[in-house]
Amino acid sequence: MTPSTIDLRSDTVTRPSPAMRRAMAEADVGDAVLDRDPTTRRLEERVAELLGMDDALFFPSGTQANQTGVALLAPPGTELLLEANAHLVHYELAGVAANWGVQIRPIATPDGLLTAEQVNVALRPPSPHLPRAGALAVENTHNAAGGKVMAPDVMDGIVGAARAARLPVHLDGARLWNAAAALAVPPARLARGVATVMVSLSKGLGCPVGSCLAFSARENERARAWEIRKRLGGGMRQSGILAAAGLYALEHNMNRLSEDHENARLLAQRLSDCPALRPSAPESNIVMIDLVGGGQTADGVIPKLAQAGVRLVPFGTHRLRAVTHLDVSRDDVVRAAEVIRSALR
Ligand SMILES: *Cc1c(COP(=O)(O)O)cnc(C)c1O
């Protein structure tokens, strides 16, 4: 990889900036497992406030926070309803089954965006022969659907349908910050009525490590989540070093997410008249690029592109994914589009 390589594989590739590293170095810390780490606690309170939730807990990863959210809400032997291409279905190594004895009930949608109607259709009638639903999970933005953004009224409909069925809702908001930026609404608007919400700090916000799980019911939920996290090996000691990066990012890197969205639109636009490609119409920071004509495969073109200085990931046999982020500029995106066009001509 040359220094000038443009890495569009994921928004997780961002590296902490010198200013973020300074904030980390100067963090006031304690032992978060033994009693308390003041910086971690400040981050948890700030995240809960931004999400309009009662409290939050800091986690080493989004996967562990998602798994904990499911463990809090869905009892063993029940089903977790969610969109068929959700992260919880495809990228958590069957965690809800292996960890919690919970069965995935995938709901197929044409575009990745769940609706209240689809939830209602998927709900089973009460019967001693059918599994009970334990919880519903929603992903916003939806990664596998190409960063699709779920609008507040659609979310309200889903929360309403879940409430009518007495189902608690977990929001996988790894990129909820991006959804809020795309819609120009506060993040809390997108978490209204949910029981738990996971947000990532190590994606578009540029932190090296960290996610939070926020809850709507204070004392008890936090204590239960704390226990589950500890059982999973997620208790961290002087975690204020990492939480300081989170606090820094919420203050400095949140308002610029719309630049990533502009860059994603620019990339799609610059690829739109290339006959070998069909880019998606990005709603946030993800562009799906389909290889058309059937001649080329994602696995075939990715090494060629990497050699030419642009890194992407495969997302199906004929599909590539590009993600814009803090460490790629508008100029980088323009250059990436040129490289992709000439490599695939
Ligand atoms: C990245 C991601 C996660 C998991 O986060 P990690 O920190 O990588 O474990 C969960 N859900 C979605 C939608 C994601 O994009």
Residues 294-309 have pLDDT tens digits of 789 999 999 999 999 9
On whether the pTM is more than 0.95, the answer is yes
Closest listed residue to residue 99, CA positions, set 69, 129, 132: 69
Could you say which of 233, 252, 271 is where a domain stops? 252
CATH of the domain at 50: 3.40.640.10
Q: Quick one: which of 245, 214, 194, 172 has its CA closest to 20? A: 245
Residue 344 Cα to ligand 1 middle (Å): 30
Q: Mark the ranges of the chain whose per-residue pLDDT is less than 50.
A: 1
- Provide the domain limits for residue 263: 255-344
Residues forming beta bridges with residue 119, ordered by sequence position = none
**What is residue 220's predicted lDDT score, i.e. its pLDDT?**
81
Integer Cα distance of 176 and 140 in angstroms = 6
* Residue at 2 is within a domain: no
DSSP for residue 68: H
Q: Which of 343, 245, 244, 248 is nearest to 296 (CA)?
A: 343
Residue 264, domain CATH: 3.90.1150.10
Give the residue from 65, 58, 174, 159 showing the smallest Cα distance to 116. Answer: 159
Residue in 58, 91, 178 to alter for ligand 1 test, most ligand atoms within 8 A of Cβ: 91
Backbone angles phi, psi at 287, to 5 degrees: -120, 125
- What per-residue confidence (pLDDT) applies to 95? 98
Q: Are residues 204 and 273 in the same domain?
A: no
CA 282 to centroid of ligand 1, rounded, Å = 19
Residue nearest to atom 6 of ligand 1 (CA): 62
Ligand 1: residue whose CA is nearest its atom 3: 62
Task: Establish whether residue 201 lines the binding site of ligand 1, counting it when its CB lies within 6 angstroms of any ligand atom.
Answer: no
Residue 157's CB: how many other CB atoms inside 10 A?
Answer: 17
Residue 169 lies in a domain: yes
pLDDT value at residue 295: 83
Does residue 150 share a domain with residue 259?
no
pLDDT of residue 96: 98
